[in-house]
Amino acid sequence: MRTVIARCSVDYTGRLDAHLALATRLLMVKADGSVLVHSDGGSYKPLNWMSPPCRLEVGQPEADDVASGVQEVWTVQNTKTDDRLVVKIHEVLHDGTYDLGVDPGLVKDGVEAHLQVLLAEQIELLGPGHRLVRREFPTAIGPVDILARDPQERAVAVEIKRRGEIDGVEQLTRYLELLNRDPHLTPVQGVFAAQEIKPQARVLAEDRGIRCVILDYNAMRGLDDPDTRLF
Residue 11 pLDDT exceeds 70 = yes
**pLDDT, mean of residues 204-227:** 86
What are the beta bridge partners of residue 168? none
> Whole-model pTM above 0.85?
no
Nearest residue to 190 (alpha-carbon basis) of 137, 112, 114: 137
Confidence label for 44 from pLDDT (cuts 50, 70 and 90): confident
Confidence label for 227 from pLDDT (cuts 50, 70 and 90): low
Q: Spell out the residues 6+ positions from residue 87 whose beta carbon is closer than 8 angstroms to its own.
A: 8, 9, 10, 27, 35, 37, 73, 74, 76
Dist. CA 212–CA 215, nearest whole Å: 10
Q: Return the higher-pLDDT residue of 55 and 101.
A: 55
Residue 224 pLDDT exceeds 80 = no
What pLDDT shows up at residue 79?
94
Cis peptide before 53 (omega within 30 of 0): yes
* Number of residues assigned to the chain: 231
For the stretch 174-183, pLDDT in tens is: 999 999 999 9
What are the beta bridge partners of residue 153? none
What pLDDT shows up at residue 43?
72
What pLDDT shows up at residue 225?
54
What pLDDT shows up at residue 136?
95
What is the full DSSP assignment across 195-216? EEE-HHHHHHHHHTTPEEEE--
Report the range of poorest mean pLDDT among 110-124, 157-171, 187-201.
Answer: 110-124
Nearest residue to 210 (alpha-carbon basis) of 225, 197, 229, 223: 197
